[in-house]
A and B are shown apart, each in its own frame.
Chain A
Amino acid sequence: MASFIKARDVSLVFKSKDRQPVTALSNFSLDIAHGEFVSIVGPSGCGKSSFLNILLGLIRPGNGEIHLNGTRITGPGQERAMVFQEFGLLPWRTVTANVELGLELKGIAPAQRAERATELIKLVGLTGFESHYPHELSGGMKQRVGLARALATEPEVLLMDEPFAALDAQTRDLMQMELLQIWERTKKTVLFVTHSIEEAAYLSDRVIVMTARPGRTKDILKIDLPRPRDYEMRLTPEFNDLKLHIWEVLKEELTSRG
């Protein structure tokens, strides 16, 4: 497997509120192939979101490095875009203006921005809501805007930080299905952080289970279920065996922290 994203010995230490150094990540390594859908699950505080932020270029690791397509990551770049858990939409902008944000920051001309935004709004199923403001949308719709905004800049890697955690269960199921459809059409490389074993197993090619803090790789599980996957697949015994397996690996980490 040729690795598109290659993380080597990434460590991150930050100071907690009482000035004690906390090791969030310790020698975390990871390889992801082009077009692969990889999920990271792990106990709270294991540094999985921090890793995503390092990959995005917002945090610098204390040690180690990450290469993307052979180039070392030193800051934000247009081949990566993030979908945030709390959406991160600008409340004073309409749906269209929010989707255009990344294009605007990259200096794309207004006419092209508008064209691209229309296209993506259609892709995420929000046509008709172009001039709505975020406060007029439901949680699921807000995250569709977040997804459209990330995809608008045509990143090669889509980073998703618990993107559906703030949504209700049914909206969540729906968004997972739609994400898979969009992924199959666009063939982005996706790194998806979640707390949900089911979500990770349903969406991913591989699931990485992390240890409790300091976070490192505990186990990597290949999900050999056929694609395209539908909701019914989640009711099969094979799927449940996989979930059980991930749960057993993860459980040790959860109980070790008390």
Chain B
Amino acid sequence: MAAREYFTEHRRLWLGLCSFFFLVAAWELVLTYIVPVNPFFFTKPSLIADAFKEQIQSAKLWHDLAVSSQAFLWGFSFAVIVGIPVGLVMGWRRRVEYSLDPFLTALYASPLVALAPLFIIVFGVGVLGKAALVFLLAVFPFVFNAFAGVKSTDSLLINVIRSFGGREKDLYLKVILPSTMPYIIAGARLAIGRGLVGIIVGEFYAASEGIGFAILQAGDTYRLPDMFVGIIILSLIAVGLTELMRKLELMVAPWRASDEAR
């Protein structure tokens, strides 16, 4: 009886794990016993696991990760520094909103990776070109989420600050920014995914190192297990960063967390 209760309580975890292992096992078994495909054209979990073990012991993987992380961090940091203030001012000042909105909306809706060749030409094949691409992709979720956050700021709180003689600066620092924080962090979750796309596209297009380049090179030379290692590492990073943002959201907006719990 106790075991049953335990399972019900944690079924989210258990069912998730079960389906994951079932899928991996099915993939392995089908390729081993039912349709033995030439490992040159496709691969299976056991081979990927071997490649994984080998790669995490090699210096090249860590070097590639360091190169890609550097570009990602630069681009992402600038997206935060530029995107949040632009979104805040856009949400608060109607004239800024009307002036910026048309072209920001057009850019946000467009497949910006199409600009990758341009960025590489302008900023070069090194860290700068990739960072610029990450910035371009990651900045919009910050702008638009900060904007939406300002729009949803309780006007009563604005009046409270004003009634105590608060100035424009006080409105931003004491009400608008804190009440927009949860929106900004939700934006950061989107921006992480988009920023990773920026890195990979930049490295696919023109690079001689980095995790995206490693994936491309493995694919080009038919080393499929190595290619999957790169992909798995990328998704682990994405999941880790996204979870981090969720934790951060609960930290900066405890009043929202309690709303969700109810």
Q: What residues of chain A have their CB less than 8 Å away from a CB belonging to chain B?
A: 56-58, 76-78, 80-82, 84, 86, 88, 90-92, 101-102, 105-106, 133-136, 153
Contacts and interface: CB of A to CB of B under 8 A. Distances in A.
Contacts of B179: 91-92
B175 A106 contact: no
Contact of A76 (B157, B165, B175, B258): B165
Nearest to A98: B160
Given A76-B162, A77-B165, A81-B163, A92 B156 contact: no
A88 B261 CA distance: 23
A92 B258 CA distance: 12
- Chain A binding surface, main DSSP class: loop
B156 A105 contact: no
A91 B255 contact: yes
Nearest to A134: B255
A81 B160 contact: no
A153 B161 CA distance: 13
A237 B156 CA distance: 40
Contacts of A81: 163-164
7 shortest interchain CB distances as A-B pairs: A91-B255, A102-B164, A135-B255, A88-B160, A105-B164, A92-B178, A105-B166
Contacts of A91: 179, 255
B159 A105 contact: no
Nearest to A159: B163
A166 to B, nearest CB: 12
15 contacts: A76-B162, A76-B163, A76-B165, A86-B156, A88-B159, A90-B174, A91-B179, A92-B181, A92-B253, A92-B255, A101-B161, A105-B164, A105-B165, A135-B255, A153-B164
Given A56-B163, A84-B156, A92-B178, 6 more contacts: A58-B162, A81-B163, A84-B159, A88-B159, A92-B253, A135-B255
